[in-house]
Amino acid sequence: MDILSDIKVLELAHSLSGAFCAKLLADQGANTVKVEPPGWGDPARREPPFINGIPDPDSSTIFLAFNTNKRGITLDIEQPQGRKLLLRLVADTDVLIESYPPGHLESLDLGYQVLRETNAKLVVSSITYFGQTGPYRDYQGGDLVVQALGGFLNAVTGSADRPPMGTTLEQMEITAARNGAIAIMAALLQRRQSGEGQQIDLSTMEAAVSTPSGLIQPYSFTGRSPKRGGSDGNVMDGMHLPTKDGEVTLTTAGTGGRPMEAWSEFLEEPRLLDPKFATRPSRLENWEELHILVAPKLALWNNLDLMHETMARGLVIGLVQNPQQVVDSPHLAERGYFVEIDHPEAGSLKYPSPGFLMDEENPMEGSKAAPTLGEHNSEILGGELGLSAEELGQLRASQII
Amino acid sequence: MRADMPQNQILEGVRVLTLEQVHALPWGTSFLADLGAQVIRVESSAHLQDRKAGPFPDGRPSQEWWNEGGNLAYFGTRNKQSLCMDVATPQGKEAFLKLAKNCDIVTDNFRPGTMERFGFDHESLAKLNPRIITLSSSAYGYTGPWRRAGSRARTVDATCGMSYLTGYEDGPSYRASNNYMDHSVGNNVAYALLLALYQRNKTGEGMRIDLTMQETGVSAIGPAILETQRGITRSRLGCGHLWKSPHNVFPCRGSDRWIAIAVSTDEEWQRLQKAMDEPLWAADSRFETAQGRWNHRHHLGDLLSEWTQTQDDQELMNHLQSNGVAAGAVLTAEDLVANPHLGERGYIEEFENVNAPQAGPRKYAGRPFRMEGVSFAIRHVAALGEHNVETLRDVAGLSDDEITTLANEGIISTQPLPTETPP
């Protein structure tokens, strides 16, 4: 599809949010160059686990997953020559994504004003944990810290009588990145009208606050802060219950307002009709008894059979699938969801696509794997910027690339 | 619109017609509405669940409950228009098609099949309007064996693999969230629609988008998807980390008060020791290396908790941060509203809904990004059917007489049906 094939993106790689944001654009065909510091490159390259079990800058799973369809160069922008080369790249770039601590690019004389003087059409997206202003701007971040400060830890998952519990796999970084992609698209559409670029200040903490529906406005309307524990004792609407080959979570949806009648019939367990299970509060109150009735019945089912039978009756469940079950999913296979991509270190693997088909096509068909460290130095700095082999050699010798 | 608010121009002239319920899709189209698109939300007076969802002022719905909910203002009809029209009737269907003819985007989040039953599927609409972009946001998409399955956000957290990976250390799997996936999907909806508009600017052609909640969820756990294909399993760690320690929440003074502390390098560990005034226990050789700290993370956590549990979470955070240690108090909604950082950034916005004066001013989270000259504030929250006449006249091209007839026949309305039970 390559919707963004006319857009050039530079990613100054320091954060997962920046990497995922640039990936969202690259997966739609944007010509995306990841600029990494020489040495080990993006810190994500050091992040275990490694796909072959051996630490190597090209085989961190998080790096592989978040950097598809990008080309990669190494460049030390803290050295004057590196800075100059970056500005030459900026001159012919549409979007620059960066995640340095606020003020760092200014200290290298690469602040927004300088970038703008180089290229008035440039969209600069700064994605940092706390944003460019405010008393926390220089604070140290991280996904867990932002889950805490963003209100997510206290309210979203975990049990009411246990400590706050985090959500897996850096979801705040991912949420910030999704918001970044929206803001960048808006800026690109605006640029069509104004002819000018834009600076975007995106805060991961704020992305965390705005993401669950139920934080600020419920507190403002009711005076009560939402708190974790929504699945505690919630047999029919939140707990995970074992099946023969996995787990499932039930819902009361699709039952026409008569959940216990519908589930009693489906599970062939008439005792579910007991009045003490008739309302949500009474089910919570008697959850242990309810659990004893429901769990053995579900344990008779295989996951996929349970899914098909409930679907046929309009009941709504969620199979708690492990990643392997997701990879093996017949449903996703029929939709052509995963794209197979080859990589020199990682080999051939199935990668997730963005989550939408456009005109029945997967936009990630024909994707390329994450770049190895400095893979495109010659192609981009030589071929596209026109540096000679000699100049490239000199840059390598002074460790600028 | 308030006069002192800059008017967004970015999507001026773009018309979105949306049949949307619950959460994910309304969240997605609210971004387009913020950016200045004319988003016409078609509602049915017989299905007002979203307007019943609240939250209501002081927890009590008033007589005009249908216009006062907090979720309605935060994303439901935020900066949108409301057309309350029964599209299941022949007259309603005809008016809908007239609207679609003059819109750029039509979105829905019905189960696959419903739009076709109404005659609103992409092929039918594209015949009327060749440049149309349609997007359906569903649990599992329009193809594949699960296409008819319904969902809730949390069932999608389950089927996408996220909930399996979520849980306390060594504990069972745990529902990842109640509605994180609604928001992720909504964000993906906004992104996909902006891409489609960008494409149409270049080619002049419309597009069909089949967006799914499950697949959006899988795209958020990419590393685990790669790992499993090489036999690597990712263990549940609660607030823990694969190799960092201390990396967890630790108790603070007060009821259910906690601080998150995340230490990665030896240098950061030394900063933490300094911030703690170099206690003897921290000099233990077992804690000297990252591997040692991780292996003994439970013991280390217990010792650290003894130090944190007598302290105020936010003061401790400031103290740790001033020593260069990554730390964050585990904030509640009440804390966030009073938070000095968000306050200085003007992040929390106050909005008074003119359609629900009894609710008074209330606070909302802002958008997490700022762009010069673009306001993402809540400007207006549409009351039920507030834009019936305006949309049918100006977009569908109906005459005043035709609109009056629709109103007399009960096809359009501005109130719930008399049989509707209040929330």
Checking if the pLDDT of A295 tops 80, the result is yes
Residue A125 · residue A132 · CB < 8 Å: no
Interchain pair A352, B222: CB under 8 A: yes
Is the per-residue pLDDT at A1 higher than 80?
no
Compute the Cα dihedral for A265, A269, A272, A273 and give only its sign: positive
Q: Which residue has the higher pLDDT, A136 or B181?
A: A136
Q: Return the residue of B nearest to A136 by Cα.
A: B341
> pLDDT category, A398, cuts 50, 70, 90?
confident
Per-residue model confidence (pLDDT) at position B128: 95
Strand ranges in A331-375 using DSSP code E only, listed in sequence order = 339-343, 347-351, 356-358
What whole-number distance in Å separates Cα of residue A291 and Cα of residue A270?
14
Average pLDDT over residues A238-252: 93
DSSP E strand boundaries for B353-413: 361-364, 369-371
CB neighbours (10 Å) of residue A317?
Answer: 27
The topology (CATH level 3) of A8-212+371-397 is: Rossmann fold (3.40.50)
For A295-306, what is the mean pLDDT? 94
DSSP-derived 3-state class of residue A328: coil
Query: Cα torsion for A31, A32, A37, A38, to the nearest 10°?
Result: -50
Q: Enumerate residues 272 to 331 of chain B having a beta carbon within 8 A of any beta carbon in chain A.
A: 321, 324-331
Name the closest residue on chain B to residue A5, using Cα atoms.
B199
Nearest by CB to B222, from A66, A181, A205: name it. Answer: A66
The average pLDDT across A321-339 equals 97
Does the domain spanning B247-338 belong to CATH 1.10.940.10? Answer: no
In this structure, chain B runs to a length of 423
pLDDT tens digit string along B143-174? 999 999 988 878 998 999 999 999 999 899 98
Please tell me the distance in Å from B139's CA to the nearest CA on chain A.
11
Residue A270 has pLDDT above 90, yes or no: yes
Q: Could you tell me if A243 lies within 8 Å of chain B, comparing CB atoms?
A: no
Q: pLDDT tens, A346-396?
A: 999 999 999 999 999 999 999 999 999 999 999 999 989 888 999 889 988
DSSP helix/strand/coil, A33:
strand
**What number of other Cβ atoms are within 10 A of residue B342's Cβ?**
28
Let me know: does A184 contact A23? Beta carbons within 8 Å: no
pLDDT at res. A13 = 76
Residue B3 in this model has a pLDDT that exceeds 80: no
Residue A104 has pLDDT above 80, yes or no: yes
Q: Which of A216, A251, A316, A325 has the most B C-beta neighbours within 10 Å, making it the best mutation to test the interface with B?
A: A216
> How far apart (Å, rounded) are the C-alpha atoms in residues A81 and A84?
5
Spatial CB neighbours of B334, under 8 Å, sequence gap ≥ 6: A219, A225
SS (H, E, C) A59-100: CEHHHHHHCCCEEEEECCCCCHHHHHHHHHHHHCCCEEEECC
Asked whether the beta carbons of residue B209 and residue A253 sit closer than 8 angstroms, the reply is: no
What pLDDT was estimated at residue A169?
85
CA distance B203 to chain A (A): 10
Q: Does B149 touch chain A (CB under 8 A)?
A: yes
Beta strands at A8-12 and A31-36: parallel, antiparallel or unpaired: parallel
The tens digit of pLDDT for each residue in B326-385 reads 999 999 999 999 999 999 999 999 999 999 999 999 999 999 999 988 889 999 999 999
CATH of B15-221+348-408 given 3.40.50.10540, 3.40.50.300, 3.20.20.80, 3.60.20.10 = 3.40.50.10540
Q: Do B222 and A158 touch (CB under 8 A)?
A: no
pLDDT above 60 (res B6): no
A159-183: pLDDT as tens digits: 899 999 988 889 999 999 999 999 9
Q: Test A185 with B191 for CB contact under 8 angstroms.
A: yes
* Chain A interface includes B56 (CB < 8 A): yes
Residues A72-95: tens digit of each pLDDT? 999 999 999 999 999 999 999 999
A321 contacts on B by Cβ (under 8 Å): 158-161, 164
B178 pLDDT above the threshold of 90: no
Domain ranges in chain A?
Answer: 8-212+371-397, 241-322
What was the pLDDT predicted at A213? Answer: 61
What residue segments make up the domains of chain B, in order of their start? Answer: 15-221+348-408, 247-338
User: Using the beta-carbon criterion (under 8 Å), do B144 and A3 form an inter-chain contact?
Assistant: no
> Which of the residue ranges A123-127, B74-78, B418-422 would you say has the lowest mean pLDDT?
B418-422
A101 touches chain B (CB under 8 A): no
